[in-house]
């Protein structure tokens, strides 16, 4: 069925091929934006004096006169250049389809959808058509219609119909694989088939399954912990979940990343509302007061959620320079854009987006929202990003246990010195009497403080030179007390005591460091052509300006409700 729909859609005749009325805003501007704005209009660049951002600018032309002649595509200089492949300069030749659209538009009079502005200010960065893109619209209850209704309408249009109803065994297999990623057991299939028969369905293909049996099956599958594992994977893929930093040959381990994975799985299994799910991942740290100590289970969950912003590749553990830091921030913005906006925001890092309604300034204004959590002036390594979950009570208990273990260490060290002194005396007895005190003095002198003569003397007596706690076992063959075994047992006793300490766990979180002075708050600048070492204009935090028609997008540099002079967070993400 789906194959027929796709083939039917692909076979549809394109609008431009049937002589439909074309407009600059809807049909022509996207082509020019993707291929020509970079040299003819963007950032004040107008090579050859030509600006192609408005239809009347194109008609006016540049140094070579009008670029188009409305009504006569054949005599339009623009068409000559794109057909010859001379424009866009240094890029791939325009597709035949795009050239055909330009020709048809010019031939029809180079029409616009509406009167063009007198001049192009920031408010004219996007057209109404770009603002109307479906993913940029607020969710409307009126848009909720039965999916089957949409499919059925298109099937009817193409003379097709739905496939016949699945039999119980097929249905439970499909439902189980879809919701859990696991096939049903033979016993589960038999139980579902029996339920269908009992409720009035014979179990034959083509017959509608009993609603009560289907609901009971789906409820059972949704209640399974495997549901969160199956569907959590999709969100983890969107977030780029990884147990390592994803950089270089070392590819350093993210030891505590699994906690974010488990957060996602548990959120789905608990039916956490999606808006809350998103807020916690973007700003869970801003919902928990600093300092992060003696955390409740709820606070830990919120901090764990921010691991979402720590998932993109991070090479600063191997190469902590400005370029690698910037790459980590850019990858994070890219991940936020694809997973939450459904847009390739990262494409605007170097210039205005060629397809989506996103300016380069928009990109850096969005980056400013997250900048305080990265802070290139006070960059934190992976260990520095971890938040300890050890409570004060656990720390006190750990210190108490450590003190007990150190007592055992002290006893062991006394015994160790006794054993070394005993073995040293036996080894010195093997040396000439005239050298014994000199050897003893050389051995007891710290290695880095020994004279050249002492070092030379010890090298002549390797069994004395190599004597240490770690080498006592080499001397035990002639010693009935087995010194090494005794020390090993004493070490194990101390280790066993230390094993009783509360385990210190961490979460790989996205947090902001408090700033004592306003001038320490990291600023965000537009990078010329995306080069981090070429900052230009400073920007303030904001959402994409294309969304301004639906909600407020500007954000304060700092939440005015936060107490001065320092705040644990600027609350830009909340």
Q: What is the pLDDT of residues 288-312, one digit of tens each?
A: 999 999 999 999 999 999 999 999 9
Q: Is 163 in contact with 14 (CB distance < 8 Å)?
A: no
Phi first, then psi: give them for residue 62, nearest 5 degrees: -135, -135
Residue with tokens 């850096």: 364
User: Is residue 13 predicted with pLDDT exceeding 50?
Assistant: no
Phi first, then psi: give them for residue 526, nearest 5 degrees: -75, 130
Determine the pLDDT at residue 5. Answer: 37
Q: Is 259 in contact with 307 (CB distance < 8 Å)?
A: yes
Q: Is 287 in contact with 260 (CB distance < 8 Å)?
A: no
Determine the pLDDT at residue 195. Answer: 93
CB hemisphere CA count around 112 (13 angstroms) = 14
Q: How confident is the model at residue 558 (pLDDT cuts 50, 70, 90)?
A: confident
Interatomic CA distance for residues 64 and 46, integer angstroms: 13
SS3 514: coil
Q: Is 531 or 6 the better-scoring residue by pLDDT?
A: 531
Q: How confident is the model at residue 566 (pLDDT cuts 50, 70, 90)?
A: very low
| Lowest-confidence pick of 76-80, 266-270, 401-405 | 76-80
Taking residues 47-67, report their average pLDDT. Answer: 87
Q: Is 543 in contact with 553 (CB distance < 8 Å)?
A: yes
Phi first, then psi: give them for residue 3, nearest 5 degrees: -65, -45
Q: Is 428 or 208 the better-scoring residue by pLDDT?
A: 428
Interatomic CA distance for residues 498 and 402, integer angstroms: 6
Taking residues 213-228, report their average pLDDT. Answer: 96
Determine the pLDDT at residue 86. Answer: 82
Taking residues 454-459, report their average pLDDT. Answer: 92
Phi-psi region at 482: left, alpha or beta (left = phi > 0; alpha = psi -120 to 50): left
Measured CA to CA in angstroms, residue 398 lies from 406, 415, 498 at distances of: 12, 26, 8
| Lowest-confidence pick of 196-210, 226-240, 463-477 | 196-210
Q: Is 533 or 554 the better-scoring residue by pLDDT?
A: 533
Q: How confident is the model at residue 2 (pLDDT cuts 50, 70, 90)?
A: very low
CA 9, 355, 111: angle at the middle one, nearest 5? 80
Phi-psi region at 405: left, alpha or beta (left = phi > 0; alpha = psi -120 to 50): alpha
Interatomic CA distance for residues 493 and 500, integer angstroms: 12
Q: Is 396 in contact with 501 (CB distance < 8 Å)?
A: no
Measured CA to CA in angstroms, residue 272 lies from 52, 264, 279, 443 at distances of: 49, 10, 11, 67
Determine the pLDDT at residue 561. Answer: 60
């Amino acid at each position: 069925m789906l194959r027929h729909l796709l083939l039917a859609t692909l076979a549809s005749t394109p609008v431009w091929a049937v002589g439909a009325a074309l407009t600059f805003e809807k049909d022509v501007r996207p082509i020019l934006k993707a291929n020509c704005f970079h040299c003819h209009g963007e950032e004040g660049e107008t090579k050859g004096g030509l600006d192609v951002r408005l239809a009347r600018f194109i008609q006016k032309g540049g140094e070579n006169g009008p670029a188009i002649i409305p009504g006569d595509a054949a005599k339009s200089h623009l068409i000559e250049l794109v057909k010859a492949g001379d424009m866009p300069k240094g890029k791939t030749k325009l597709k035949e389809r795009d050239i055909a659209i330009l020709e048809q538009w010019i031939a029809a009079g180079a029409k616009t959808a509406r009167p063009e502005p007198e001049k192009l200010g920031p408010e004219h960065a996007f057209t109404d058509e770009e603002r109307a893109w479906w993913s940029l619209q607020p969710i409307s209850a009126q848009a909720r219609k039965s999916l089957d209704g949409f499919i059925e309408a298109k099937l009817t249009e193409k003379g097709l119909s739905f496939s016949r109803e699945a039999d119980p065994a097929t249905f439970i297999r499909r439902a189980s694989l879809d919701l859990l990623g696991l096939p049903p057991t033979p016993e589960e299939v038999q139980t579902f088939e029996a339920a269908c028969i009992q409720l009035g369905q014979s179990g034959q293909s083509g017959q509608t399954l009993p609603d009560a049996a289907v609901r009971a099956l789906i409820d059972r599958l949704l209640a399974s912990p495997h549901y969160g594992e199956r569907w959590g994977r999709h969100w983890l893929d969107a977030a780029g979940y990884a147990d390592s930093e994803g950089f270089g040959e070392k590819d350093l381990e993210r030891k505590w990343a699994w906690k974010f994975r488990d957060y996602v799985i548990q959120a789905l299994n608990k039916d956490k509302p999606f808006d809350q799910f998103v807020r916690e991942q973007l700003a869970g740290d801003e919902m928990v007061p600093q300092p992060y100590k003696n955390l409740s289970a709820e606070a830990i969950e919120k901090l764990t959620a921010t691991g979402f912003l720590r998932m993109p590749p991070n090479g600063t553990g191997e190469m902590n320079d400005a370029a690698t830091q910037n790459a980590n921030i850019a990858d994070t913005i890219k991940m936020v854009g694809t997973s939450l906006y459904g847009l390739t925001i990262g494409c605007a890092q170097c210039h205005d987006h060629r397809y989506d309604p996103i300016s380069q300034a928009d990109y850096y204004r969005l980056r400013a929202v997250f900048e305080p959590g990265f802070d290139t002036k006070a960059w934190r390594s992976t260990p520095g990003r971890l938040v300890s979950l050890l409570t004060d009570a656990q720390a006190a208990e750990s210190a108490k246990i450590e003190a007990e273990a150190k007592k055992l260490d002290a006893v062991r060290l006394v015994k160790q010195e006794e054993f070394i002194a005993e073995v040293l005396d036996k080894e010195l007895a093997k040396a000439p009497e005239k050298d014994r005190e000199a050897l003893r003095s050389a051995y007891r002198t710290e290695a880095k403080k020994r004279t050249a003569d002492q070092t030379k003397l010890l090298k002549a007596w390797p069994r004395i030179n190599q004597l240490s706690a770690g080498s006592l076992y080499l001397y035990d063959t002639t010693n009935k007390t087995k010194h090494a075994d005794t020390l090993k047992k004493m070490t194990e006793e101390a280790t066993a005591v230390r094993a009783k300490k509360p385990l210190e766990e961490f979460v790989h979180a996205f947090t902001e460091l408090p700033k004592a002075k306003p001038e320490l708050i990291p600023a965000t600048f537009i990078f010329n052509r995306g080069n981090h070492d070429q900052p230009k204009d400073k920007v303030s935090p904001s959402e994409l300006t294309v969304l301004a028609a639906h909600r407020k997008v500007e954000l304060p540099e700092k939440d005015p409700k936060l107490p001065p002079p320092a705040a644990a967070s600027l609350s830009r993400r909340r």
